[in-house]
Each structure stands twice: as C-alpha cells, then as structure tokens.
Structure 1
C-alpha cells in the first residue's frame, strides 16, 4: 500500500461515516481541504480526537486496539446493517431471476476495510515508511475491522461472489491471506478472486497505465480498472467497500460503501 498523504480530521471522518453510502455526484464530498486558507486543526488535538473516535487503548501485549463500544465501531455497525439490507435485496432479486445473466459480486478493499492498521498508525505517529509497513503487514496479525469479515461471509452465504481489490503488493499475498483467514474472512482467497498490485508484471487489463517495470497507475485507475476486469468476467459488482474514496471512485460498481478512516488519506 502506497500512502501518498497521511492526514485527516476525526470530525471530518465522522461526517463521512454518517454519509458512508454514497453514489453518483457525491464522490468528492469531504475528500480534501487542501485549498482552504483557514488555520488547520491543531495536530495535538487531532490525535486526541482520533484516539477518542477509535477508543484506542493498549492491550496486554502492547498493541493498540479499537474499542467495540467506540464511535468508530458504531459507525461501522450502521454501515454493515445498511449493506446487509442491500445484499438481501440483491439476493432476493437473483433468486427470483430478475437480474439477468451476470452474477452479482461484492468487492472489498483490505487495509482498514477488513484489516485494521491502528497500531501501526499510532506507533508511527500517523506516518508511513515502506520498510516498516512491509514488516507490519508480514506479521499477519492485524485485527479485524469490526463487522467486515462477517459481512464477507454474509455476502457469500447469500450467493454473491466475493472479490478483493487491494493496494497490497504481490509480495504480501501470503501474509494477507494468512491474516484474512485469522480474522474470519476466509472466502475466495485464491489468486482469481484476490487482486493485488503487481508493479513488476502488471496485468494486460491495466496496459493503459502500466507496463512491466513502468507502473504509472493512480489508485483510482488501478482499482477501477480491476473492477472493470471483474465485470468483464461476467459479474455485476453490486457493492464496493473501501475506507478511501480512491477505493471507490472510477465506476464499475452499482453501489459504494465508504468505511471511516481518519488516520490517512490515499489519492
């Protein structure tokens, strides 16, 4: 995962979570205040607000965990409930033959959509370093984003195909699979359903922005191009889940669900 900008206000994150389901015309809401001339939010207060939002606390092993009683958990619960109601409707239409020939599918981002990186963010002062990030991912010990692995299983149980569309690299595939299994997202973890970033040998469907050794895809190009490829295989992506707007922008999904994440921003 390449994080090009790491800053966000918890207050803004809460506002985003309140409007977590967004459609056409709302894709840019809350994305950036870079053109603002007012004094930025005090970073000391910001980190305290982020801690309060997550209910962040060290566990017995010295790992920062989010609280299941936090505003963060509550926001996720509202999103999950809405997503399940929608999945039920899709499954009902499919069961009664009202969806045509394409099989319904859901797509999940991984980092901070299924696997929570709060401990890394806190201990790195909300910064990013490729070496320490790789070591953290390869431990394969991140906790779940509350409710998300259960949502994966729910969608599969309802007959929807499950895919993953992640900015993690091919070198991190083994660790990602191990970690997803550990948190209970043990559905379709094969290479045909889990798409990771392969900058050395990019797939042909990303040829417009990537060639071997010459990766030029933006996050939106990579993620939307992958969704386009999934749909070309005969699927209709009925729901796309991510914690970044760049996970969701670019089309090729009937509905998008934005999960809260006030700790970093990916263009």
Structure 2
C-alpha cells in the first residue's frame, strides 16, 4: 500500500497541501509555518500554535478513532522528548514544562489504555532525571528508551527505528509516533507518524 506525507503550510496566508511518497505502512503528517524558517524568527506563541495545529487537527482525531475500538490490541504511542513532549528550547527551568497539546493527547490515550513510550536521543546518564521530569509534569511512562554507550555510535534514525521495532516485538501496536525531527519518524514501525515543527532543524 502506498502512503503519503502530508505537508500543511499554516499561517495568515491560508493553507496549502502537497503530497509525496512515503515509507509503506506509515503516514507522516507535518506542519510548516509560513514565513518562519529559523528558530530565532519563531516566538513561543507561533511554535505553540503550529504544534497545536498538528496535534488537535490531525493526531487527536486519529487517536480517538483508533482507541474507540481497540479489539484486544495492546496499543501504544511513541513520543520523542525534546520539543515534542517537553519544552526544551523554550523552557529554561527544571523540571522542563510539558508541551501542553502533546501532554493532553498522551493523557487522553493513557486513560483509554494506551501505553505511552518515549524514545529519545538523550544519553543514558540523564535517564533518571528525564523520567522524573516526564512524570512530574503529568506523563505516564510505560517505557523510556535512552542512548547508552553502544547506541551513541549508531545513526539516530536507525536507533529510534530499532526501539520502535522492539516495542512491537513486545506485543504492542504503535498507533501513533510523534516527533519534531525527521529522525523521529523515519523507518516505519508505526501506523501513523506525526511530525511537529522544527523549523528546518533549528529546534532540537
């Protein structure tokens, strides 16, 4: 089956959509704000609006549909952390604040029996403070995958793909995978992937 990557341009100038071929078995939805190409040009409100557009208009309806009738599946959602689950570039405190639209989606899914996993490029040395941060701001953590020493020499996209495959081998159906970098969503092993804005890689 051929799937598509849907790109939405969001801004006062209206909305445009384009489609390109994607990895079979995965649909990736992504938003790019019009006129914002670098992090220094994007304020907090713009970033939040762009994130909310993807979560509320695309990810949330899909998760609602998939969780309405799980049919005995062990459902899971996989989240990236930096500027996906936590406000890394716009938050300068610890614990770092949650990205509110993503937190609300994760809580909605968890209340319906969906396991929430986190796959991050963060090093293993900060695993415990990361897990504490996630739980402190309201996330339920079914599993946290961080990069230990051998993983640091592996391509990030390959590492994250392998961890999603590992979650699937444990009997879970990954209904949604959400991240803000292409390395978060490439490689499949999710029914649908949703890419949050990173403004051409300017947000980590």
Which of 1 and 2 has greater Rg?
A: 1
TM-score, with normalisation over the residues of structure 1? Answer: 0.59
Name the counterpart of 1:75: 50
Task: Kindly indicate whether residue 45 of structure 2 is the aligned counterpart of residue 92 of structure 1.
Answer: no
8 Å contact from structure 1 (residues 23, 256) kept in 2: no
Match for residue 191 of structure 2 among 254, 259, 267:
254
Match for residue 197 of structure 1 among 119, 125, 147:
147
Name the counterpart of 2:141: 188
Q: Deviations over 1:162-214 (max 9, x none)?
A: 111011111101211222123222x025xxx1111111xx5xxxxxxx6xxxx
Name the counterpart of 2:167: 230
Return the alpha-carbon distance in structure 1 between the equivalents of residues 21 and 67 of structure 2.
21
Match for residue 121 of structure 2 among 167, 180, 187:
167
- C-alpha change, 1:78 and 1:254, in structure 2 (3 Å) is same
Return the alpha-carbon distance in structure 2 between the equivalents of residues 166 and 23 of structure 1.
26
- C-alpha change, 1:224 and 1:47, in structure 2 (3 Å) is closer
Name the counterpart of 2:177: 240
8 Å contact from structure 2 (residues 39, 202) kept in 1: no
Structure 1 unmatched ranges of 5 or more:
1-12, 31-44, 55-65, 121-135, 203-209
8 Å contact from structure 1 (residues 87, 158) kept in 2: no
8 Å contact from structure 2 (residues 84, 180) kept in 1: yes
RMSD: 3.3
TM-score, with normalisation over the residues of structure 2? Answer: 0.76
- C-alpha change, 1:46 and 1:250, in structure 2 (3 Å) is closer
Return the alpha-carbon distance in structure 2 between the equivalents of residues 103 and 184 of structure 1.
22
Q: Secondary structure at the match of 2:69?
A: helix
Give 1:102 shift: 4.0
8 Å contact from structure 2 (residues 85, 99) kept in 1: yes
Match for residue 110 of structure 2 among 144, 156, 163:
156
Task: Kindly indicate whether residue 41 of structure 2 is the aligned counterpart of residue 103 of structure 1.
Answer: no
Give 1:16 shift: 8.5
- C-alpha change, 1:223 and 1:114, in structure 2 (3 Å) is same
- C-alpha change, 1:118 and 1:93, in structure 2 (3 Å) is same
Name the counterpart of 2:4: none
Give aligned pairs, total: 183
Return the alpha-carbon distance in structure 2 between the equivalents of residues 46 and 88 of structure 1.
33
Name the counterpart of 2:34: none
Structure 2 unmatched ranges of 5 or more:
1-6, 32-36
